[in-house]
A = this chain, B = another copy of it.
């Protein structure tokens, strides 16, 4: 039994309290300042309105100002804020996290520093004090929060800086329905977790293209093009992961293929993709149809766009291998049209570099 603090009472932070409680742990759920209503609802009715689920009776809800109190005796911290909340969370953890306590990020995203792409666990770690560092981990893999809260079979990868730590933490949080596989490929898992949203937005364009295609035959779908985009997405994810120092094998496991699969089945990234496929430009679609929604793939595109361009210029990334990534970034960041260059797909790294130099 461990004392586990979850910081951030959004859907994922709240859903994770279900397996953590089932695994026998004492769980404290601390809302951000934005989560006051959610925490009030949990206190009053044990019900999370956005997750549309009850939380276990034993989960103790805390408000933002009670973080210091909630942190007392904590053995492990989960961070459930979204990527925009990371800087706030870093400040709060710097002030309250006891030395030696590991942090597991549920937060997904990437940042560009102009020269390279940074993963969020490293962004967080850089903000912590020396004694607080060394234990920042991340979780990837197909895990829709509502399904996890309903105890659906869910399989994820827990990645961190060393094998002993991830083995111990995986063992700690595993339940008969929450299958947690340890990995030391933190870079691979985090890059996949962020890029899958961006690529799902690309796969989602096909739904819109289908709707506006001439109604030659109503029953004919567009599974062929969607599947080719799916395969190309994995191809490009491998390139980015490998160039950033991660492992290609991560891309073909739960964190890459598994999470991309689930993200292409439903969700906000797909919905945005559909609007673009219908012919609307990104800024209009966002303003008219999704102004209240965080479209994670678009946020990631905006966060890394300039850095990706710089990395292609410096040959740290190979643009020839990344036609889908660059097309999606152009749609999101430049209001570009859906322009899929099928004939440029599946460029091989080994071949493409000499070709560029010719």
A: which residues have CB within 8 A of B? 52-53, 141-144, 146-148, 150, 152-155, 179, 181, 216-217, 219-228, 230-231, 234-235, 238, 251-254, 256-259, 261-262, 264-266, 340, 342-343, 345-346
Q: In the complex where A142-B231, A228-B155, A346-B181 touch, is A252 in contact with B252 (Cβ < 8 A)?
A: yes
Q: Are A262 and B220 in contact (CB under 8 A)?
A: no
A152-B225, A153-B342 given. 4 additional CB < 8 A pairs?
A: A53-B217, A179-B345, A231-B254, A231-B261
Q: Are A225 and B150 in contact (CB under 8 A)?
A: no
Q: Are B257 and A231 in contact (CB under 8 A)?
A: yes
Q: Are B221 and A147 in contact (CB under 8 A)?
A: yes
A222: chain B residues within 8 A (beta carbon): 147, 152-153
Partner of A261 from the list B179, B230, B266, B340 (CB cut-off 8 Å) is B230
Q: How far is the CA of A208 from the CA of B337 in the complex (A)?
A: 39
Q: CB-nearest residue of chain B relative to A255? A: B231
A234: chain B residues within 8 A (beta carbon): 252-253, 257
Closest 3 CB pairs of A and B: A231-B258, A142-B227, A155-B228
Q: Are B228 and A147 in contact (CB under 8 A)?
A: no
Most chain B Cβ neighbours within 10 Å, of A141, A227, A254, A345: A227
A252: chain B residues within 8 A (beta carbon): 231, 234-235, 238, 251-252, 257
Nearest CB of B to A346, in Å = 5
A228: chain B residues within 8 A (beta carbon): 141-142, 153-155, 179, 254, 258
Q: How far is the CA of A235 from the CA of B226 in the complex (A)?
A: 21
Nearest CB of B to A334, in Å = 23
Q: In the complex where A261-B230, A343-B179 touch, is A253 in contact with B235 (Cβ < 8 A)?
A: yes
Q: Are A257 and B230 in contact (CB under 8 A)?
A: yes
Q: CB-nearest residue of chain B relative to A266? A: B223
Q: Are A224 and B143 in contact (CB under 8 A)?
A: yes
Q: Are A253 and B346 in contact (CB under 8 A)?
A: yes
Q: Are A230 and B217 in contact (CB under 8 A)?
A: no
A224: chain B residues within 8 A (beta carbon): 142-144, 147-148, 152-155, 262
Q: How far is the CA of A261 from the CA of B233 in the complex (A)?
A: 12
Q: How far is the CA of A235 from the CA of B253 in the complex (A)?
A: 7
Nearest CB of B to A48, in Å = 12
Partner of A150 from the list B181, B220, B230 (CB cut-off 8 Å) is B220
Q: How far is the CA of A224 from the CA of B262 in the complex (A)?
A: 7
A53: chain B residues within 8 A (beta carbon): 217
**A-B residue pairs in contact (CB < 8 Å), sample of 29:** A141-B227, A142-B231, A143-B224, A144-B221, A146-B217, A150-B216, A152-B222, A153-B222, A153-B224, A153-B228, A153-B340, A154-B224, A154-B225, A155-B228, A155-B231, A179-B343, A221-B266, A223-B266, A226-B262, A227-B262, A227-B265, A228-B258, A230-B258, A230-B261, A231-B253, A231-B256, A231-B258, A235-B252, A238-B252
Q: How far is the CA of A262 from the CA of B266 in the complex (A)?
A: 16
Most chain B Cβ neighbours within 10 Å, of A219, A231, A340: A231
Q: CB-nearest residue of chain B relative to A154? A: B224
Q: How far is the CA of A259 from the CA of B226 in the complex (A)?
A: 11
Q: How far is the CA of A343 from the CA of B177 in the complex (A)?
A: 9
Q: In the complex where A155-B345, A252-B235 touch, is A150 in contact with B217 (Cβ < 8 A)?
A: yes
Most chain B Cβ neighbours within 10 Å, of A144, A152, A225, A346: A152
